[in-house]
């Protein structure tokens, strides 16, 4: 019953290889999933030496060759990097390799050889210099899976949040929200949690304005125009969704256990509660990708300043692997 999770190395000049090795030193990982690294075996071996780890690398070309045994890291070795790759420096070679790792993971996920993808961070400058004009993992995944409608979910042990809008200004976010987008995200949340084993996910939608508008006392009726039609449509289709709820109390109720996931209207409305609960345990998740692919990621960057120094923290990687296993189709 353990899902197979493909863990991509990300930019190998950063802390990705180190946090992968450190995460897979936790025997509990192997109790709930079967991890396989997609990357470069020689870099993993360098990191094992740096961290004085006793882990052994099992170089493979196919998932079927993996041992999935604690103490051994199964690595699908694409062999794209030089053995002396400098840690902490922007490298076009590493940027291209990071793209190829995620491309291979998507191919494996399309073939159902892995049930979810967990990504170590990449460096956007290196990615572009390596010949791939993408701002990040999400856009790469959307392109490789031919996906138009997707959303960012943030997850922590006590709270899950999915967003209607993310990296746009607040005014643009409010202008962008419409009933169709709201319905799509509600449906994405319902589908993702059902695939993860939730029989009837309890979904709550945040209001846009303070107190969810309080009957037009605040705002210009954005809740009624942009959110309520989507909520009613989803309810008519059998989705267990409610709202719009005042955001200032909704997150407390969700953490208490009243809801399984909250639909946030804009970036900070959803990000702040998650990050207050703890950056180390936060996980970034892309849902809605075609082929039913779930992707989770650490909630930090490549940290070039500490790469190769054996001081990187593995907690976000462990949390990302756990979330990938939790959300993988059952």
- Band the pLDDT of 18: cuts 50, 70, 90: very high
Question: What's the CATH number for 4-147+289-327?
Answer: 3.40.718.10
Q: Which residue has the higher pLDDT, 218 or 99?
A: 99
| Res 230: pLDDT | 98
Q: Is the pLDDT of residue 281 over 90?
A: no
Report percent pLDDT > 70 for the chain.
99
Q: How far is CA 159 from CA 200, 236, 274, in A?
A: 17, 26, 7
Total H helices, total E strands in the chain: 13, 12
Can you tell me which residue has the tokens 């050889």?
A: 113
Q: What confidence tens digit (pLDDT) does each residue in 236-250 have?
A: 999 999 999 999 999
Q: What confidence tens digit (pLDDT) does each residue in 296-330 have?
A: 998 788 999 999 999 999 999 999 999 899 888 76
Q: Is the pLDDT of residue 41 over 90?
A: yes
Q: Which residue has the higher pLDDT, 190 or 328?
A: 190
- Band the pLDDT of 196: cuts 50, 70, 90: confident
| Res 330: pLDDT | 64
Question: What's the CATH number for 151-275?
Answer: 3.40.718.10
Total Cβ atoms within 10 A of residue 297: 25
| Res 279: pLDDT | 66
Q: Is the dihedral of CA 88, 306, 300, 321 positive or negative?
A: positive
Q: Which residue has the higher pLDDT, 48 or 192?
A: 48
CATH 3.40.718.10 maps onto the chain at 4-147+289-327, 151-275
Total Cβ atoms within 10 A of residue 303: 18
Q: How far is CA 272 from CA 66, 91, 131, in A?
A: 39, 33, 34
The pTM (predicted TM-score) of the whole model is 0.82
- Band the pLDDT of 51: cuts 50, 70, 90: very high
| Helix, coil or strand: residue 199 | coil
Within 130-227, residue ranges assigned H as helices are 137-144, 170-176, 179-195, 222
Q: How far apart are CA 221 and CA 209, in angstroms?
A: 9
Q: For the chain, give the mean pLDDT.
A: 93
**CA 158 to mean position of chain CA atoms:** 16
């Amino acid at each position: 019953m353990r899902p197979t999770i493909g863990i991509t190395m990300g930019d190998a000049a950063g802390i990705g290889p180190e946090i992968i090795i450190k995460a897979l030193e936790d025997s509990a990982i192997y109790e709930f999933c079967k991890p396989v690294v997609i990357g470069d075996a020689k870099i993993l071996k360098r990191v094992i030496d740096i961290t004085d780890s006793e882990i052994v690398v099992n170089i493979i070309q196919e998932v079927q060759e993996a041992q999935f045994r604690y103490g051994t890291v199964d690595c699908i070795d694409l062999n794209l990097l030089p053995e002396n790759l400098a840690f902490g420096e922007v490298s076009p070679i590493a940027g291209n390799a990071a793209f190829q790792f995620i491309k291979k993971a998507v191919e494996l996920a399309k073939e159902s050889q892995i049930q979810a993808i967990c990504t170590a961070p990449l460096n956007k400058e290196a990615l572009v210099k390596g010949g791939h004009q993408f701002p990040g993992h999400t856009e790469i995944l959307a392109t490789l899976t031919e996906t138009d409608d997707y959303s960012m979910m943030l997850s922590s042990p006590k709270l899950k949040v999915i967003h209607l809008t993310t990296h746009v200004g607040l005014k643009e976010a409010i202008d962008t929200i419409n009933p169709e987008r709201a319905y799509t995200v509600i449906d994405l949340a319902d589908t993702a949690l059902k695939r993860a084993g939730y029989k009837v996910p309890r979904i709550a939608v945040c209001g846009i304005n303070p107190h969810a508008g309080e009957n037009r006392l605040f705002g210009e009726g954005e809740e009624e125009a942009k959110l309520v039609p989507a909520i009613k449509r989803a309810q008519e289709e059998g989705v267990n969704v409610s709202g719009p709820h005042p955001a200032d109390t909704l997150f407390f109720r969700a953490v208490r256990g009243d809801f399984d996931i909250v639909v946030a209207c804009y970036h900070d409305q959803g990000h702040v509660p998650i990050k207050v609960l703890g950056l180390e345990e936060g996980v970034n998740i892309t849902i809605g990708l075609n082929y039913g692919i779930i992707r989770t990621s650490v909630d930090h960057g490549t940290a070039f300043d500490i790469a190769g120094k054996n001081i990187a923290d593995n907690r976000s990687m462990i949390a990302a692997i756990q979330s990938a296993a939790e959300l993988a189709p059952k």
